[in-house]
């Protein structure tokens, strides 16, 4: 039998295990023109929380009682499509199913000899591209400037910080444990890192770590952490609004300090973005990230959870900070 995971409920606040439902179906028959795919690695990502609700967004909501989908690496185990051979590995937006048929469109072949397959979901996939294009196209850091990254020990944040170092900047990370803070400094070469869970005065801690102020704030979390960074932003600073995970489970409209006076007084640019805005530049991004990886200038971490049945829990754990680097499920 072929296990599938459906959306059972639209969560109110923090998502729970009961929002997901497991079902079984027969392994589908492969029609002419199709391929049969076996799921190997599943990406779970914070943005999927938005798709669990009905609210209109840049990507359509998941449907109740229908399979959830996300970035997946799968193996072609049967092919009736001339473009694919048994044994090929592909990456694409696929359903949370152990096996599924597909017409092959919008899938990307990935090379297991060039990089570990899971890397195509992280550093050489959506999260790597988010870090690269978000920082270079929106943040536009210049050598010698100071960058602060929130969610710094996650998939996007850890890559942003390393790119910042490659570009010659001072990089300060914000993360949720001492272990993560140590990792940012020792493994990724961040100049300073702050544990937001144990630091009472975040505004002061950022000022201490950034004596010349903050030129670029790459924001993955939003909320009060960001309020503290905004208070330290420099004249002509850039605030890159990539994610707001601290607000994704809010059930009421969050309020906080108004940012407009800061933007005006300091001539600051604050810009949100979606990685797909840069889709025409993805080949350049992948090429650059691959080169840095090969040259040993870029490193990455993965938290790999084993087993198809653990996909929902791996997703839920993102909101508890249980991952270092990219959260991935190996099936």
What are the residues binding ligand NDP (CB under 6 A)? 45-47, 126-127, 130, 151, 153-157, 175-177, 180, 220-221, 225, 242-246, 273-275, 318-319, 321, 323, 327
Provide, rounded to whole angstroms, the least separation between the CB of residue 15 and ligand NDP: 12
Nearer to ligand NDP, 288 or 323 (CB): 323
Nearer to ligand NDP, 78 or 284 (CB): 284
Q: Are strands 89-95 and 108-110 parallel, antiparallel or unpaired?
A: antiparallel
Nearer to ligand NDP, 43 or 81 (CB): 43
Question: Residue 144: what are its φ and ψ, rounded to 5°?
Answer: 90, -10
User: Following DSSP, what letter does each residue of 99-117 receive, concatenated?
Assistant: EEEE--TT-EEE-TTTS-G
Provide, rounded to whole angstroms, the least separation between the CB of residue 220 and ligand NDP: 4
Nearer to ligand NDP, 81 or 158 (CB): 158
The C-alpha atoms of residue 305 and residue 64 are separated, in whole angstroms, by 25
Q: Which long-range contacts (CB under 8 A, 24 or more apart) does 25-29 make?
A: 25/1, 26/1, 26/2, 27/1, 27/2, 27/99, 28/2, 28/99, 28/100, 28/101, 29/101
Q: Tokens in use for 69? A: 């989908």
Provide, rounded to whole angstroms, the least separation between the CB of residue 133 and ligand NDP: 9
The C-alpha atoms of residue 255 and residue 290 are separated, in whole angstroms, by 41
Provide, rounded to whole angstroms, the least separation between the CB of residue 123 and ligand NDP: 11
Provide, rounded to whole angstroms, the least separation between the CB of residue 316 and ligand NDP: 11
Q: Tokens in use for 238? A: 């850039």
Nearer to ligand NDP, 118 or 127 (CB): 127
């Amino acid at each position: 039998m072929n296990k599938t995971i459906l959306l059972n409920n639209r969560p109110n606040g923090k998502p729970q295990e009961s929002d997901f439902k497991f079902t079984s179906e027969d392994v589908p028959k492969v029609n002419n023109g199709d391929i049969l795919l076996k799921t190997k690695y599943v990406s779970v990502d914070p943005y999927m929380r938005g798709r669990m609700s009905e609210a209109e967004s840049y990507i359509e909501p998941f449907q109740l009682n229908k399979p959830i989908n996300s970035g997946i690496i799968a193996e072609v185990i049967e092919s009736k499509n001339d473009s694919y051979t048994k044994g090929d590995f592909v990456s694409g937006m696929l359903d949370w199913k152990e096996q599924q048929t597909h017409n092959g469109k919008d899938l990307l072949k990935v090379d297991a000899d060039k990089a570990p397959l899971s890397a195509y979901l992280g550093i050489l996939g959506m999260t790597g591209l988010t870090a690269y294009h978000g920082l270079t196209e929106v943040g536009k850091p210049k050598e010698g400037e100071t960058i602060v990254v929130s969610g710094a020990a996650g998939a996007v944040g850890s890559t942003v910080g390393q790119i910042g170092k490659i570009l010659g900047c001072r990089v300060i990370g914000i993360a949720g444990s001492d272990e993560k803070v140590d990792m940012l400094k020792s493994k990724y070469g961040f100049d300073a890192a702050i544990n937001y869970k144990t630091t009472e005065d975040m505004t002061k801690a950022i000022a201490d770590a950034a004596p010349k102020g903050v030129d670029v704030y790459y924001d993955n979390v939003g909320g009060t952490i960001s309020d503290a960074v905004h208070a330290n932003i420099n004249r002509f600073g850039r605030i890159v609004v990539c994610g707001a995970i601290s607000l994704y489970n809010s059930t009421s409209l969050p309020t906080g300090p108004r940012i407009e006076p800061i933007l005006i007084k300091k001539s600051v640019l604050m810009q949100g973005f979606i990685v797909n805005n840069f889709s025409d530049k993805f080949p350049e991004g992948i090429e650059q990230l691959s080169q840095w990886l090969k040259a040993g200038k870029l490193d990455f971490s993965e938290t790999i959870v084993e087993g198809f049945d653990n996909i929902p829990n791996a997703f839920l754990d993102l909101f508890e900070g249980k991952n270092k680097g990219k959260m991935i499920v190996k099936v």
